Amino acid sequence: MSQPFRPTAVTFLASDRPEAEEARLRLTERYGSVPITEAEVIVALGGDGFMLETLHNNLQLRTPVYGMNRGSVGFLMNDYEEDDLLDRLIQADRTMLHPLQMDAWTESGQVHSGLAINEVSLLRQTRQSAKLRISINDKVRLEELTCDGCLVATPAGSTAYNLSAHGPIIPLDAPSLALTPISAFRPRRWRGALLSHTARVRFEVLEADKRPVSATADNFEVRRVTRVEVRERRDITLTMLFDAGRSYEERVMAEQFSS
């Protein structure tokens, strides 16, 4: 029988917002803080962007991350509360995330790879619209998409750029990915697709010389790409901690019905 999770070694990290740093100082004084390499839990103080930054920076350690909202957007964060923190960590629910692998080929034939916790996005580099051919699991599904761009989002990333592009919000525990166009011109009625997490997505850039496109895995950008392949990395697991019975689902529901 596995032992209950009882973290005693915690490190506190803060975004560059003043309120986040103030919270870090108060919590460190109250609970203590260990070096990040010794931590059983990382407490990230900021917004969703800082949560994703923290997960990226600790891909090697893969220490569970518990976020508290000291930023402007907090879909992935718990409410900020200083009392009974260790008890909340013990009782917290675990959510496992798997990043996306982006492999991007450039005009020179080089291949650049990166990991994305949020999304992999392709965007036009000039005033010329992008033209993309989209294949799923080696089968062409869209011969030509004329657009500003297109993205593949994880459940964690579905409330970020994907949501702004009118893509679907995906529950964190759903085995799905969102394929969402950005300002699609043709076919005008295509609104994207909901894919299995096992899907392999390939984008081919058409007329790449005339219509240059960049590809980005979260904050890692490759310019003038000719082909991009995206897949989920099931061999990499990141852990986020949420207060038991927290209101993440309610926030997602409210966002979907907001006017």
What does the angle CA 148 – CA 71 – CA 57 come to, to the nearest 5 degrees?
Answer: 75
User: Within this chain, do residues 210 and 248 fall inside the same structural domain, yes or no?
Assistant: no
Residue with tokens 């907001």: 258
Residue 5 lies inside a defined structural domain of this protein: no
Residue 249 has pLDDT above 80, yes or no: no
* 46, 14 contact by CB (below 8 A): yes
Parent domain of 84: 10-97+237-256
In this structure, the answer to whether residues 46 and 138 fall within a common structural domain is: no
Looking at residue 75, its pLDDT comes to 81
Q: Is residue 4 part of a domain?
A: no
d(CA 54, CA 213): 28
Number of domains observed in the structure of the chain: 2
Residues 93 and 112 in one domain: no
Q: Is the pLDDT of residue 39 over 50?
A: yes
Give the residue, 236 or 6, on which the prediction is more confident: 236
pLDDT of residue 1: 42
Is residue 79 annotated as part of the catalytic site, yes or no?
Answer: no
Angle at 186 between CA 148 and CA 113, to 5 degrees: 40
Provide the pLDDT for residue 67.
Answer: 96
Residue 192 DSSP label: -
Banded model confidence at residue 247, pLDDT cuts 50, 70, 90: low
User: What's the rounded mean pLDDT across residues 226-235?
Assistant: 98
- Percent with pLDDT over 90 in the chain: 80
Q: What is the mean pLDDT of residues 74-91?
A: 91
Q: Do 89 and 167 fall within a single domain? A: no
In a domain, 191, yes or no: yes
**157 found inside a domain:** yes
Q: What is the C-alpha to C-alpha distance for residues 193 and 184, in angstroms, rounded to an integer?
A: 13
Residue 211 or 171, more confident: 211
Average pLDDT for 101-120? 96
CB atoms within 10 A of CB 182: 22
Strand partners, 12: 43
228: helix, strand or coil: strand
Cβ 24 vs Cβ 12: under 8 Å:
yes
Q: Which of 16, 48, 93, 103 is catalytic?
A: 48
Out of 21-25, 100-104, 206-210, 240-244, pick the least confident: 240-244
Task: Tell me which residue has tokens 């029988």.
Answer: 1
- Shared-domain flag, residues 146 and 225: yes
Q: Which phi and psi (to 5°) does residue 91 adopt?
A: -90, -5
Whether pLDDT at 4 is above 80 = no
Based on the domain organization, do 17 and 139 belong to the same domain? no
Bridge partners, residue 155, by sequence: none
179 and 129 in a single domain? The answer is yes
Cα gap 185→11, rounded to integer Å? 47
Mean pLDDT for all residues in the chain:
92
pLDDT band at 195 (very low <50, low <70, confident <90, very high): very high
CA 110/CA 182 separation, integer angstroms: 26
CATH of the domain at 18: 3.40.50.10330
Q: What angle do CA 178, 157, 34 make, to 5 degrees?
A: 150
Q: Which pLDDT score, from 0 to 100, does residue 146 have?
A: 97
**Structural tokens at position 243:** 């207060």
Taking residues 110-130, report their average pLDDT: 97
- Please indicate, yes or no, if residue 2 is contained in any of the structural domains: no
Whether residues 47 and 145 share a domain: the answer is no
Residue-level pLDDT at 2: 46
91 and 244 Cβ atoms separated by less than 8 Å: yes
Percent pLDDT > 70 in the chain is: 93
Q: What is the rounded distance in angstroms from the CA atom of residue 111 to the CA atom of residue 245?
A: 43
- Residue of 210, 235, 223, 233 lying closest to 112 (CA atoms): 223
For residue 71, what pLDDT band results from cuts at 50, 70 and 90? confident
Question: What value does the mean pLDDT take over residues 221-240?
Answer: 97
148 and 192 assigned to the same domain: yes
What would the pLDDT profile of 139-186 be if each residue is shown by its tens digit? 999 999 999 999 999 998 998 899 999 999 998 889 999 999 999 999
CATH number of the domain within which 108 lies: 2.60.200.30
Q: Hey, what's the torsion of the CAs at 14, 19, 22, 26, to 10 degrees? A: -90
Does 159 lie in the same domain as 184? yes
